[in-house]
Chain A
Amino acid sequence: MNKVHLQLRVNGEDVEVAFAPHKTLLEVLREDLALTGTKHGCELGECGACAVLVDGKPMLSCLLLGLEAEGAEIRTIEGMADGPTLHPLQAAFADLGAAQCGYCTPAMLLTAQALLDRNSLPSRVEITAALSGVLCRCTGYLQIFEAVEAAAQTMVQRSKEEAAGGRGE
């Protein structure tokens, strides 16, 4: 079987990888790059568990070929924290019960991050709509909504403080 050999940009790093051309981005991430934080629940585009950010947009990695991701900026759950420091969304999910079994959590977190990147203080309705493509069987979603709202507040507060700190200098 002929593998394609190409360079992908994953979590801000360029990685070289060789894989069979029919492989999905999900398979390339999990099997060829050992980034198993990206999950799968159906591999048919139904459950949303495999969502990753492609150029900042949540995309189902099971419906995207690895080849199609060439040249794009891919972000997976492994790239969400800042070194050892959790992203505010991660901290809020952990603190507020938004992750029970944790299986849909990477997709939920990345999808929520994409939402907050374009809308810093989304309404409950906007959060509901943004996360509607990811199924969760454990939580009933409510603690997830609350965690996104709490993280949004934290992030807005932080950027205010940073802006204030910036003026002070």
Chain B
Amino acid sequence: MAEGSDRKLNVVGVPRRRVDGRAKVTGQTRFADDLTLPRMLHCKMLRSRLPHARIRGIDTARAAAAPGVRLVLTGADTPIPYGILPVSQDEHALCLDRVRFVGDPVAAVIADSEEQALAALDLIAVDYEPLTTIADSEQALATPEPRIHEYGDEANVHKKVAFDFGDVDEALAGADRVFEDVFFYEGNTHLPIEQHATLAAIDPDGKLTVWSATQTPHYLHRALTKALALPAAHIRVIATPNGGGFGGKSDPFNHEIVVAKAALVTGRPVKICLTREEVFYCHRGRHPVLMKFRTGVKNDGSIVAVHLDTLLDGGAYGSYGVASTFYTGQLQTVTYKIPRYRFRGCRTFTNKPPCGPKRGHGTPQPRFGQEVQLDKIAVALGIDPAQLRLQQLVEPASLTANYMRVNTIGLGECIHQVVAGSGWKERRGKIVSNDGMARGLGLACSAYLSGAGLPIYWNDLPQSGVQLKLDRSGGVTAFCGATEIGQGSDDVLALCVAEILGVPPFDIRIITGDTDLTPVDLGSYSSRVTLMMGNAAIEAATRARDLIAPAVAKKLGVPAGRLVFAEARVFDSEDPERGMTWQDAVIHGEAMHGTLGTTGSYKPPMSAAKYKGGGVGPTPTYSYSASVIEVAVDRATGWIEVVKVWIAHDIGRALNPVLTRGQVEGGVYMALGEALMEESAFRRLPPKLSGALVHKMPSMLEYKSPTTFEMPPVETFLVEQPDPRGPFGAKEVGQGPLLPVMPALANAVFDAIGVRIDEIPITPEKIIRALAAKDRRYGPSKFPEMTWPEALKVAPPWEGGDGTASNDKPKKPRMARPGEEGGPPIRPEVRR
């Protein structure tokens, strides 16, 4: 399906202005909050100031009578639960009877102006009965009552999973050395510059349209259908271009459902734009994760087994958390050969903003631990850390112990590039400094998905669809549900169609992210768009070309197989003068076939992982990255200066190198923020102020992120070894390059001053503490004792396994109930 790696390419690989570039530099890109409609009302939401409480009553009478107020909504108005995952439908647009974190919404006011709505919020009286507040994972494990949710694997445990891929204890017992390390990775948030905003309106025909800053219009469409009990065909979701997403706009959000409901009730357009503080409380960001790695190696450094335990602080709701839990374990195996692997993960509920997917979704935390531990192993065994990795890379076209299928792997080349570029061999441990700062180099690697193998809800439908419309004007319009969040998905769509049809990308009109107009694409998450939409676009364009070719062939009197589509012409490859313009070619096609339209779709290949839980981790192909970082550390103050970053990314093929480089550098930037300063930390207010658990820094001033001053030079190497599963050979680039940066930085700090910071972020204070510590280390001391479920036992492929677990209990088939995933729809009232 992936179109010709051998074909001459005219558009692919050429650095070029993105098709939506002009709109962005003229301020003409219309973001959600830029939209206004006549008679539009404004919405503000009342949010809980208590982290955990029962709602005894809400009095909205005074607010409803306030000037300009048109509507007040409470939980009773939106009683149907929803959530991104079918297994955790635990959210209500407005809380019914319980608030679970500071920021949980309890009521909404819709008024003529935002000010009037805001003023009326103060008039709503909520009678709360405070409940015990659970602040972190360890407290959640120790506090079964009160339960934050009535569902979950244990009291305040959302999910617990355990896998044994082969006999890990036996392998560890036979290892020459076993290294045990505990790491902690603090939570952090996406911080898109655009605040979430949504506008909902009733169309003239009575249907509902919702414009929203969402990365996943299809999932929002499903959530609205459920939460509002409306037929899907009566709801249109339009994803406005996102002013940054990074995973923070991938859940269906309560404010989206609230303004939709308000539009239905008032019959008028209703808009909401969250404040920056509300965006911090919306969150769905990086989970805080505590990890323990036990890794057995031979004296030559080769790994014999890894045992990884992870503990995730999930916050107040499920969100993507079940997937996040699996992701803290599933990708550890796809970089280095790990013959046997044990992974156990646990996600707790706590009374904090819900965590979810942020760039790298669940994988940066264990990747940090794994790569820092490998550095420790290399030092202990006296092996060059680059060599330690190179000597045990996963083979191409192979299965891992947990049945992840690795296709192409450019990691070796990535390591060679950053090692050569940085002068690693000559300079590591030997950088002379004359400014009083200690300098060092660190290296780390990583892998990421080019799209999740399975959709969020079970189905066997295409995960991306593209439709093309062509007509006698020569115009081509490409329709796809994919969502432009800044990464350049519109450009990839135009590029793929343009390459096949031989016209400039700018000539392709792009319509995306509109559930009425565009075929379903699951959304901009899991780095899936380039690969999945790209392949669907190639299929649709190839079908269009195959319709037009015979018509042109007939007209020119040459065999269709000899025709070339390039330079906005269709011509005979053996006699290029013999041909016609693209427009004439389309005219002949339309004359031969009638109205021209084609479709393409993409579905990932079947996974080899057939055990329960094996649905998280598989992908059509993994991308790989390697990074070397140079730091300068001031021993007196602990200040860390990042001198330079070298990063190589196994991209398969760079479709538009300008955008590819931008994704790599943007990933490095975001990673440096996580590595050095960003953290979603919480504190308790004093008891007289309710003892609430509040965000320590819900503002952009206090939540430090890198400015222009903090950005070091970055040297980017794109390793292009086309992958046959990617469009023109391309793999993902949006998330992978973030991953090696945090551990490379930690390893560089060790090279510079000989201390280990086993915790993210790495701050000056931690450096100072580690320098003063006996063990020259800063980090968590232990992983809590806890019980685990019986591990699913899956024999690795080289031990006769077939991808199933020997002790997997088959689930009793049960008919889904109405309104459940897979069940018949709730009979909605038909709106007239």
Contact = CB atoms under 8 A, between A and B. Distances in A.
Contacts, number: 164
B708 A143 contact: no
B668 A77 contact: no
B714 A140 contact: yes
Interface centre among B18, B23, B30, B190 (most CB of A within 10 A): B18
Contact of B711 (A34, A39, A140): A140
B476 interface: no
Interface stretch (B239-247, B569-577, B773-781): B239-247
Nearest to A42: B276
Interface in B741-788: none
Contacts of A76: 27
Contacts of A100: 486-488, 659, 662, 666
B157 to A, nearest CB: 33
Given A43-B276, A94-B17, A102 B25 contact: yes
Contacts of B241: 101-102
A135 B670 contact: no
Contacts of A106: 27
Contacts of B193: 39, 41, 47, 49, 101, 103-104, 135-137
B34 interface: yes
A169 to B, nearest CB: 33
Nearest to B713: A142
B21 interface: yes
Interface in A103-162: 103-106, 109, 127-129, 131-133, 135-143, 145
Question: For chain B, what secondary structure do more than half of its interface residues adopt (helix, strand, loop), or is it mixed?
Answer: loop
B699 A109 contact: no
A135 B72 CA distance: 36
Contacts of A137: 190-193, 244, 246, 666, 670, 705
B386 to A, nearest CB: 25
Interface centre among B22, B26, B28, B194 (most CB of A within 10 A): B26
A91 B21 CA distance: 9
Chain A residues touching B, range: 35 or more
A26 to B, nearest CB: 12
Given A36-B34, A47-B700, A94-B17, A143 B661 contact: yes
A61 B286 CA distance: 32
Given A41-B193, A44-B276, A94-B21, A138 B700 contact: no
B275 interface: yes
A104 B31 CA distance: 12
A41 to B, nearest CB: 4
Interface centre among A34, A81, A99, A105 (most CB of B within 10 A): A99
Nearest to B660: A97
A55 interface: no
Contact of B24 (A94, A143, A145): A94
Contacts of B708: 127-129, 131-132, 141, 145
A86 interface: yes
Given A46-B699, A104-B193, A132-B709, A38 B662 contact: no
A128 B327 CA distance: 37
Contacts of A42: 195, 276, 699-700
B485 interface: yes
Contacts of B486: 100-103, 138
Interface centre among B243, B658, B701 (most CB of A within 10 A): B243
B27 A132 contact: no
Interface centre among A77, A86, A127, A136 (most CB of B within 10 A): A136
Contact of A97 (B29, B33, B662, B699): B662
Contact of B707 (A43, A95, A135): A135
A123 B707 CA distance: 17
Nearest to A94: B21
Contacts of B26: 37, 77-78, 80-81, 86, 90
B349 interface: no
A4 interface: no
Contacts of A133: 707
A15 interface: no
A74 to B, nearest CB: 14
B21 A41 contact: no
A46 B195 CA distance: 13
B499 interface: no
Given A102-B23, A137-B244, A39 B705 contact: no
Contacts of A77: 26-27
A115 to B, nearest CB: 12
A42 B662 CA distance: 25
Interface centre among A105, A106, A132 (most CB of B within 10 A): A105
Interface in B697-724: 699-701, 705, 707-709, 711, 713-714
A97 to B, nearest CB: 4
B665 interface: yes
Given A86-B26, A138-B244, 10 more contacts: A39-B243, A43-B275, A46-B701, A77-B27, A99-B25, A100-B487, A100-B659, A101-B243, A138-B662, A143-B662
Interface of A: 30, 34, 36-44, 46-47, 49, 76-78, 80-81, 86, 90-91, 93-97, 99-106, 109, 127-129, 131-133, 135-143, 145
